[in-house]
Amino acid sequence: MALITNVLFPVDFSSSCIAMAPYVKRVATLFDAKVSLLHVFDPSPHGFGGVFKQGQGTVEQRQDIARHQLNSFLADEFAVSQHQRIFATGDAATQIMHVARNGFDLVVMPTHAGTFRRELLGSTTAKVLADADRPVLTSKHAQTIARRPLEHRECVCAVNLDADSERVLRFAHKAATEAGLELHIVHSIQLTDPSVPILVEDDEQPPSSATLLARQRITDLQKKIGSDAPVHVVLGSIKAALIEVVRKVNADVLMVGRSSQFSQAGSDSNYSIAMDSPCPLMSI
Structural domain boundaries, residue 79: 6-139
pTM: 0.86
Q: How far apart are CA 12 and CA 10, in angstroms?
A: 7
CA–chain centroid gap for 137, Å, is: 2
Summarised one tens digit per residue, pLDDT across range 195-241 is 656 666 654 566 778 889 999 999 999 999 999 999 999 988 888 88
With respect to residue 218, please indicate whether it lies within any of the assigned structural domains.
Answer: yes
Give the mean model confidence (pLDDT) for residues 177-182.
96
What is the CATH classification number for the domain harbouring 226? 3.40.50.620
Summarised one tens digit per residue, pLDDT across range 105-132 is 999 998 864 443 444 545 788 889 888 9
Q: Which of 49-53, 56-60, 124-128 has the lowest mean pLDDT?
A: 49-53
Q: How far apart are CA 69 and CA 113, in angstroms?
A: 16
C-beta neighbour count of 229 within 10 angstroms: 18
Summarised one tens digit per residue, pLDDT across range 265-276 is 445 588 889 888
Q: What is the pLDDT of residue 103?
A: 96
Residues pairing with 267 in the sheet? none
In this structure, are 10 and 133 located in the same domain? yes
In this structure, are 135 and 12 located in the same domain? yes
With respect to residue 23, please indicate whether it lies within any of the assigned structural domains.
Answer: yes
